[in-house]
Copies of this chain bind each other. A is one copy, B any other.
């Protein structure tokens, strides 16, 4: 499947939760499958921290497919024969949707740190413009990790629109420990000598800081068992130490590679803003209690967690389910046995496919 990212330019001003306003917002998005006549077969996929609109298929010339290609396509969990799948880059991202690396129409230069701080609610508000553009009134939302937060926020912000919400490896709010990891990652970026208060777009970029932030992230995406399985304590060369500060262990090499690959594709400012939005997300705080947050939702929920995910542990998913059940909402929960840690939502596609297919089955989606 060859896919391409398109751009929707919004004419209206977006007012954010902080009160700040954004003009000339554009949304980068992809679609897979066809929107049916009734416009009732749409599924909006919501990407995680560093994802983008390219969820599935191959861009021309690319060797790697989109981030959820295992899950999206003919006969897959999100079946393009049945559903019209939409995925957009989030507000504040760096892959086509307006973010800190976009040109501020008022100044003619990149926003950098003058970009307003936004929330998950704001991110969803912008996605809603894309859904309105398609004339879609009912949809299913689905996402893992931060994508799951957006799936929840959609069901709460636009209850009449969301008939299904799939929330994978996610949470209604970060733990103090997860905030701490994000804070240290941001600190690494802000401390980089090239950061220059966010104005680095025409100079050396804060690559070292961004790489460190990514390395910290990767430790939290894998679990200890997965790391042991992958690397154990093996040395990179000849299974013996270098007695230098060069890369010694395989796990160091893996992290260095992940860090470097990331700086080539991601903007440090976006990392700051997006992790902040994630830190701020707190449904219980916003609504007085988590139970209260779900009072008006109309969607059926599918909540999935993974046994070895210590970043967003199963207990946080169970908490979501309990709050939904207290409101007598329709919720299915599945804890998948997996050694892959938080990353499991990107890897354990076989089990997820079965569960998601069965959940979507009575949606009656078709392309007719």
Contacts and interface: CB of A to CB of B under 8 A. Distances in A.
Interface of A: 18, 113, 116-117, 173-177, 179-181, 183-184, 186-188, 190-193, 208-209, 211-212, 215-216, 219, 222-224, 227-228, 230-233, 241, 243-245, 248-249, 251-252, 255-256, 259, 272, 276, 279-280, 282, 285
Given A176-B251, A183-B249, 4 more contacts: A175-B227, A176-B230, A176-B232, A190-B245
A249 to B, nearest CB: 5
A248 B180 contact: no
Q: Chain copies in the assembly?
A: 2
A172 to B, nearest CB: 11
Given A209-B191, A215-B184, A233-B282, A117 B244 contact: yes
B18 A176 contact: no
A177, A249, A256 pick with most chain B CB within 10 angstroms: A177
The 3 closest A-B pairs by CB, nearest first: A193-B193, A191-B208, A176-B227
A280 B245 contact: no
Contact of A233 (B117, B173, B191, B248): B173
A184 B233 contact: no
Given A174-B233, A191-B209, A231-B176, A279 B249 contact: yes
A349 B232 CA distance: 33
B245 A272 contact: yes
Given A244-B117, A251-B179, A252-B179, A219 B184 contact: yes
A264 B192 CA distance: 20
A183 B255 contact: yes
Contacts of A176: 224, 227-228, 230-233, 249, 251
Contacts of A179: 233, 249, 251-252
B187 A215 contact: yes
